[in-house]
Amino acid sequence: MEIRVLRYFIEIVREGNISGAAQQLHISQPALSRQIMGLETELGTTLFERGHRQIKLTQEGYYLYERAQEIMSLVAKTEYNLQSRDVISGTLDIGGGESSAMQVVMDVLHDILKEYPNIKVNLVSGDFNSIQRQLDKGLIEFGVIMGNHNLENYHSLTLPEKNQWGILLRKDEPLAQKQGVTPKDLIGHSLITSYQTNDGEAFREWAGSLVNQFQFTGHYNLIYNATLLVRTGACFALTYKDLVPEDDELVFRPLTPILADLNTLIWNKNQQLPNVARLFIKKITEKIE
């Protein structure tokens, strides 16, 4: 596959038809059609379902579109970093889970953006698995992860704040009257948890043998939609403190004994970092110290 043809393919998807893409790319419609047909022949698959005026992606087309955007992002990042080796500029791509511990990262970004206003920042939310995949692909430079993981392939820096686990529930629930939630308190209640928590050992160690009596309703990736479900009274949500503001309906109650996760900034040992990323490491290290 040629980078040029991938650019053509992305433009067709964005425009929704070949004629509009041809105008944007300043090439003839027949020439663009031939390029895409050649790409389909090369890959041995059909990328579009062609209609009278519009085209739709096939399943294989959707897959290529996602990968093509990642490839073009890497190409642009690589070209920029090579052309500006001695300049502190460019884009910082940082991924992380939802946590108040991200505040120290935001404080450092504030300082960098104030000093270097031309720098751009991309923030990506996700759990450890998605952050790890993007780090390994070079799509982001840094990730902030929660909990204990094997980090032998990464440089790491422990952030100062920990995440305290607790239960988000409606105020009219009897359990809301308690100041802390024990494993025994959760028996008989429906729980929705993050994917990472359900697969991790820390929560199961906290709950002990009683975990087998818990009723797990489902899982969430990010807490906002889970909060909407909690408001209905359908379940409690296991989440970190300070992610959801308490209001007239909802309250947070910490787990007891206390269960807390470390927050760790990681970056790939095997990738050369641009100047702006090195500046970020320097400033966040100074901030923590």
pLDDT digits (tens, 9 = 90+) for 214-264: 999 999 988 899 999 999 999 999 999 999 988 999 999 999 999 999 999
Residue ranges matching CATH 1.10.10.10 in the chain? 3-81
What is the per-residue pLDDT for 70? 85
Decide which of 3.30.70.1400, 3.40.50.2020, 1.10.10.10, 3.30.420.40 is the CATH code for 3-81: 1.10.10.10
What is the per-residue pLDDT for 200? 64
pLDDT digits (tens, 9 = 90+) for 161-204: 899 999 999 999 999 999 999 999 999 999 999 876 655 688 88
Query: What does the alpha-carbon distance between residue 287 and residue 281 come to, in Å, rounded to a whole number?
Result: 10
The angle that helices 18-25 and 3-15 make with each other, rounded to 10 degrees, is: 130
Per-chain mean pLDDT for the chain = 89
Cis previous bond, 257, omega within 30: yes
The pTM score is 0.68
Residue ranges matching CATH 3.40.190.10 in the chain? 91-161+272-288, 164-261
The backbone torsions φ and ψ at residue 90, rounded to the nearest 5 degrees and listed phi first, read: 105, -150
Span 164-261: which CATH code? 3.40.190.10
pLDDT digits (tens, 9 = 90+) for 67-94: 898 888 878 767 766 665 555 778 899 9
Query: What does the alpha-carbon distance between residue 234 and residue 217 come to, in Å, rounded to a whole number?
Result: 9
Mean pLDDT of 155-159: 95
Residue 68 CB neighbour total at 10 angstroms:
20
**Contact (Cβ atoms closer than 8 angstroms) between residue 200 and residue 165:** no
pLDDT digits (tens, 9 = 90+) for 43-67: 999 998 877 667 888 999 889 998 8
Query: What does the alpha-carbon distance between residue 171 and residue 112 come to, in Å, rounded to a whole number?
Result: 41
What is the per-residue pLDDT for 55? 81
CATH homologous superfamily of 91-161+272-288: Periplasmic binding protein-like II (3.40.190.10)
More confident residue, 247 or 271: 247
